[in-house]
Structure formats: structure tokens, C-alpha cells
Chain A
Amino acid sequence: GQQLNQSPQSMFIQEGEDVSMNCTSSSIFNTWLWYKQDPGEGPVLLIALYKAGELTSNGRLTAQFGITRKDSFLNISASIPSDVGIYFCASGGATNKLIFGTGTLLAVQP
């Protein structure tokens, strides 16, 4: 089946550093979504992208929908301790189902 390759698998950074993670696919998608999940909670939507080349910001977060429609990245600037969690990319095509990446675990040391 279709898969999303998300990297890195985990990141351990110092507070204040910038973070970058990305997702790639062998298939073309119409939608890229980025979620954050805290332990024991459901994923929360961070950014939604619907157009190739689209660059969208949400506070310290910036995400882009790759021009080839096969990839997306998420950047977090000036990380803070509450950024800790698992970040998932998700993507959808012609059907209404989403495919999820395997997640990036982010740890931020104060």
C-alpha cells in the first residue's frame, strides 16, 4: 500500500534551536497535513496544505507542500520545552482516507 516516509525518526535538541522534519512519498497527493501528538492524547492539527508550492506559517511553525506534490516539510523555529511530542505528517489523495507517516519524536532540553 501507499506509505509516507517521515524523517528523522527522533530528534533531541536544546531549547532555542530550530527543527526541521520532512515527509516523502512515491505517490502524488492533493493534501498534506501536519499533526502534533502529546503522550496519551489525540493528534492536534498544526498546519494544513492544499496546493503544490504552498508555504504556510502558524506562529513558530512553517510548513510547505512540495512542488512535486510528493513531499512536505515542517520547520519549528526557536524551540521551547512545550514543543516536545510526536509530530506526524498525513496526506490524502482522491479518496477521503489519510495516510500517516510514522512520526518524529521531538525532545527539547531546557
Chain B
Amino acid sequence: DGGITQSPKYLFRKEGQNVTLSCEQNLNHDAMYWYRQDPGQGLRLIYYSQIVNDFQKGDIAEGYSVSREKKESFPLTVTSAQKNPTAFYLCASRIDRESGPQHFGDGTRLSIL
């Protein structure tokens, strides 16, 4: 089945550590996105990538980094510079930059120990 796979489902981080969240899609979509969701709030865009080897900052990129070395993969690293990393992280993809809706993975919940 085609879809977007995020792993792990739950992740715990010690203060001062970097952690990487995985997002893989087999939909052959060009564009991929990372969002952060806090309780009772909507989704806020962290980073997005319209094509392999290219990505742009979203609205809340500080303390995060990404890479897009392969079309199907868009990992997100939460660095120690992100002072409030506890949140639900959602990855999405879209067939191309101009058309079609975004489709989401099932999310990764990150908590600080």
C-alpha cells in the first residue's frame, strides 16, 4: 500500500540531545512537509521541500534541521537549540508543488525526559 510512514511513534529526548524523526513516502510525491502540533492548536509549518536536494524554512524553523537526499525521505532533526521540543510532529507529502492536497503520516510524539 502507498503511504507516508513516520517513525518512531513515540520518542523521548534528554535535554541537550539532538534527535531525528523519520518520514518516508512511497507515493512518488515531489513535495514533503514537516509540521508541529501543540495541544489545542493547529499545525505550524517547520520546513518543506519541493524537490530533492532543496528545502525551505517554514514559519517555525529555528532549532530544527532537515535534509532531502532522496525523493522518498525527508528526516527532521530536532536540535538542542529547540528549547521547547515537546510536541506532536506530523510529516506530509503532496504530488507536486502546485496541485493536489497534502497527505499526512500518523505522527511522532516527542517528549523531554
Q: Which of A1, A31, A45, A88 contacts B103 (CB 8 A)?
A: A45
Cβ contact within 8 Å between B42 and A42: no
- Alpha-carbon distance A17/B43, docked complex (angstroms): 28
Cβ contact within 8 Å between B107 and A41: yes
- Alpha-carbon distance A99/B83, docked complex (angstroms): 24
- Alpha-carbon distance A40/B6, docked complex (angstroms): 13
Cβ contact within 8 Å between A96 and B94: yes
* A contact residues, range: 20 to 34
Contact (A41, B48) CB under 8 Å given A97-B58, A101-B42: no
For the complex, is B106 an interface residue (Cβ under 8 Å from A)?
yes
Cβ contact within 8 Å between A102 and B97: no
Cβ contact within 8 Å between A43 and B104: yes
For the complex, is B110 an interface residue (Cβ under 8 Å from A)?
no
For the complex, is B50 an interface residue (Cβ under 8 Å from A)?
yes
- Alpha-carbon distance A45/B98, docked complex (angstroms): 17
B-contact bits for A1-43, CB 8 A (1 contact / 0 none): 1001010000000000000000000000001010100001111
Minimum distance in angstroms from A12 CB to a CB of chain B: 16
B-contact bits for A39-60, CB 8 A (1 contact / 0 none): 0111111001000000000000
Cβ contact within 8 Å between A96 and B98: yes
Which residues on B sit within 8 Å (CB–CB) of A1? 59
Q: Report the nearest A residue to B43, measured CB to CB.
A: A100
B-contact bits for A94-110, CB 8 A (1 contact / 0 none): 00111011110000000
Which residues on B sit within 8 Å (CB–CB) of A98? 45, 102
Q: What are the nearest 9 A-B pairs in CB distance?
A: A42-B104, A96-B97, A100-B42, A100-B43, A102-B42, A42-B106, A48-B101, A43-B104, A42-B107
Binding site for B on A (CB under 8 A): 1, 4, 6, 31, 33, 35, 40-45, 48, 88, 90, 96-98, 100-103
